[in-house]
Chain A
């Protein structure tokens, strides 16, 4: 088991400690630990059904953990009331695996939707139109503003979803399988976009992926989630050169 003790003065923006989550007799997370530094790209890899999506959903309060602590920007989200959680959520962007665009709304309405509840974050000074256009320009889709999600390709949907994630100017972005279901070229475009956004806004990113190429390009650090625990932590170079058969299995092409 590789354990990297990264002694750093960097601020930790997100921390999970001894997280447990079960569904009946199916123990998905068995004491998972992780932390994310400010401005860092942390990739979490694991097999299908290993609990990656469950973990990320616990992180934003979509699922309730059985035990353990979840600290997001020094707030224990398990102890927050609904209002405080909603305010905190304005600082956490979430890119869903299937984009999760509201299909009864246009692209413009999709992007306007998160702004409705978070006017306080911008001290009430919101130029919705300007913010929507800027977010779409960031992902290179300003021309799609009045289209319906059904009129967009898979890659365009993912970009619009990313723009919707960005519109609240979050400090942390959680990516759930950002390249899954996309062709290699579009997947590469999405990875470049994620890097550009990270550079432009200095966000911290937690990326869940199966895509080894994505992990290689984007990760500062990686965690391998095996049997519900943080089995291995390290950089891509460290983990990919490991002799542990369980770790090696992830990097076989």
Chain B
């Protein structure tokens, strides 16, 4: 009975949070198109988020490319299909692995950062100080950050994909003596716009989700340092869950378009 009550309470608070996040998202879209536009802060955020995530995304992408090729190679060799490696790796990286891994890395790096930063600003009354000074803190802090992640994530995904493919090429070159030209010719032969465009569109939505959840958790952070920690942590957990839901929906929609 107590367990049922606990599930009911948790479900209720989860649904309330979803409702509040929806209102927050609606406010974001309302404020994003209203003047004044904070271009300077937007550029600063784009630089911060893009530049500071670059190395992490590059290293992750490179390792994913290496590991994927190393793990798949023996199985493909068994079937005598090792020549399909560039095609297989490129499609799996561009369609799925690249966007989701980059988004998860950015959820940890950027989402938690935003949650902690805004949470700390809330706790130390910096957001109140901004509002008292006549600046709309939602526009200055939330709109710029969400927009910056939304714009930067597709760029990071493309970069991550390219580096992952390079990692895959290195393995193929060392183990199978495949040349750079041969590998990438096969990669470009295998890829179509139908692989790249949905993945890029999906990346915009991933960026939007990371920004919105990070800002939501930080902006409404509870008082105290514990609240800041909670905001950062729950931003990552909630975003990661949301990323897989968005990914599933994106694949579902893309599949419908392929069938048409």
Listed in ascending order, the chain A residues whose CB lies under 8 Å from chain B are 57, 60, 62, 82, 86-87, 89-90, 92, 94, 96-98, 100-104, 113-114, 116-118, 164, 168
- Say whether B128 faces chain A, with CB atoms less than 8 Å apart: yes
A102 to B128, Cβ gap below 8 A? no
CB distance from A104 to the nearest CB of B (A): 8
B133's partner among A82, A98, A117 (CB-CB below 8 A) is: A117
- Say whether B125 faces chain A, with CB atoms less than 8 Å apart: yes
Listed in ascending order, the chain B residues whose CB lies under 8 Å from chain A are 117, 120-121, 124-126, 128-136
B132's partner among A92, A97, A103, A116 (CB-CB below 8 A) is: A92
B135 to A116, Cβ gap below 8 A? yes
Q: In the complex, which residues of chain A have a beta carbon less than 8 angstroms from the beta carbon of B133?
A: 89, 113-114, 117, 164, 168
B134 to A100, Cβ gap below 8 A? no
| Number of residue pairs A-B, CB distance < 8 angstroms | 49
B135 to A96, Cβ gap below 8 A? no
A87 to B129, Cβ gap below 8 A? no
A90 to B125, Cβ gap below 8 A? no
B134 to A102, Cβ gap below 8 A? no
Known contacts A90-B134, A101-B126, A114-B135; 11 further A-B pairs (Cβ under 8 A): A62-B131, A89-B134, A94-B132, A100-B128, A102-B121, A104-B117, A113-B130, A114-B133, A117-B133, A117-B134, A164-B133
B129 to A117, Cβ gap below 8 A? no
Q: In the complex, which residues of chain A have a beta carbon less than 8 angstroms from the beta carbon of B135?
A: 113-114, 116-117
A100 to B131, Cβ gap below 8 A? no
* A118 and B129 alpha carbons, distance in the complex (Å): 15
Q: In the complex, which residues of chain A have a beta carbon less than 8 angstroms from the beta carbon of B134?
A: 86-87, 89-90, 114, 117-118
A98 to B124, Cβ gap below 8 A? yes
Q: In the complex, which residues of chain B have a beta carbon less than 8 angstroms from the beta carbon of A102?
A: 121, 126, 129-130
* A94 and B130 alpha carbons, distance in the complex (Å): 11
* A245 and B137 alpha carbons, distance in the complex (Å): 44
CB distance from B213 to the nearest CB of A (A): 21
* A92 and B131 alpha carbons, distance in the complex (Å): 12
